Amino acid sequence: WGFDALHQHELAHEWWGNQITPPDWNDLWLHEAFAQYMQPLYAERRISPAKARDIMTMARSRIRTTSPLAIAPREMQNSRQAYARDVYWRGSWVLHSLRYLIGSDRFFELLRQWNDPQPPVPAINAACRCRFATTDDLMRLASRLAGRDLAWFFEVYVRQAELPRLTVTREGATVELRWEAPAGLPFPMPVDVKVDGRARRVEMPEGRATLTVPARATFEVDPDAWVLRGGQ
């Protein structure tokens, strides 16, 4: 990986696990996903963005879709059940896609406030600011920083086993993009498209979009691999 990945992951737990952790096994993904995603972030800063993308590509190949990351409705889990869920690889990709959705500046502010909330919340131990937090707490923080309700993002990515799929249909100069989310849930996730080497972000407020693309133009969806989806 170009660095001691195990050491870096466990060191990350000093923040994302030891200082802030879920109150029970149901939201274990918060404990492991943050530590796992710190690895590509470290690689991005210390090595190169290309190295970070390589790590995320490896992580994507290991994702399982047999169960959701968190339980809804909440049913008490034990440690074995919790670790049977894809709390590492899928969890890191959820954070990666969240970063794309809200932008890197807001995402890094989310990391700061997730560890040191503003305004402060009661701590388990005031000396180390240790506290409990849940998926809903993360959803509320992300929504506040984004300036809009992101419940749909967490409902699909965290509380459903199946991943959303992006259907791309191209006929002549017309390209149609359409999300198919599990259980017919709303999923207005934007996505980047690259046409003849030029990339732009396409908003999909209703879960679909129609683009006009020259018939002979090259066309690529999500060229930098930001958005987690089924069938990748």
80 contact partners, CB below 8 Å, separation of at least 6: none
115 contact partners, CB below 8 Å, separation of at least 6: 15, 16, 19, 20
pLDDT tens across 128-141, in order? 678 889 999 999 99
Q: 88, 6 in Cβ contact below 8 A?
A: no
The distance from CA 86 to its chain's CA centroid, rounded to whole angstroms, is 13
Q: How far is CA 52 from CA 1, 19, 102, 215, in A?
A: 9, 26, 19, 33
- In this prediction the pTM is 0.93
120 contact partners, CB below 8 Å, separation of at least 6: none
Cα angle for residues 151, 155, 159 (degrees, 5° grid)? 145
pLDDT tens across 38-83, in order? 999 999 999 999 999 999 999 999 998 888 998 765 667 788 888 8
